[in-house]
Amino acid sequence: MKFSLLTTALLFATSSFSSPIAPSSPVLESEDAVASLNDTASSAYIELPVHHDLETRQSATTCGGYSYSQSRVSAAYRQGLNNFNNGQQVGTNRYPHRFNNREGFNFPVAPPYQIFPIMQSGNVYTGGSPGPDRVVFNEAGRYAGAITHTGAGGNAFLGCSGTS
């Protein structure tokens, strides 16, 4: 859940007056201060923790029409990174493994990249059929994005929402 700087400032401004005298000019000063803050930092937001019940309903990415929650994306990323850091690979395709980015995705982190399956079942991949979707991270441990075979020709990938 995100609150704008204006909302947060108003919340603090209204709860910070404790005088029994009706506030007349302090309110105007406070409104002026909030307006000034809003003008100078209109794009500033405060990120609040997401309540677990809400998190399961929020989509972090959509791959080929299937939406994944932030918790599922994070679980796949963490498992892939943990396996990579421990030199462990699972499944017949030995995940995680190097992703050469032949498609030319514009990831926000530098290569080299690794990929690891993200499962539509909600389970973390431990072997067997990997399904069509993958999380991508770099070997420094930074999340890069999500990709899918769905809709791509051959063994190619397309970007999931948020990956281009």
Can you give the residue range of the structural domain that contains 62? 58-159
**CA gyration radius, the chain:** 22
Convert the pLDDT of each residue in 44-89 to its tens digit: 333 334 434 434 446 799 999 999 999 999 999 999 999 999 999 9
pTM: 0.65
73 and 148 together in one domain: yes
Q: Residue 92: which CATH number?
A: 3.10.450.30
Same domain? 68 vs 35:
no
Cis preceding linkage at 112, omega within 30: yes
Residue 52 lies in a domain: no
Give residue-wise pLDDT tens across range 28-50. Answer: 333 443 333 334 333 333 333 44
DSSP string, 96-150: SEEE--TT----SSPSPEEEEE--TTSSPP-SS---SEEEEEETTS-EEEEEE-T
Q: Which range among 5-9, 21-25, 113-117 has the greatest average pLDDT?
A: 113-117
Same domain for 89 and 149, yes or no, is yes
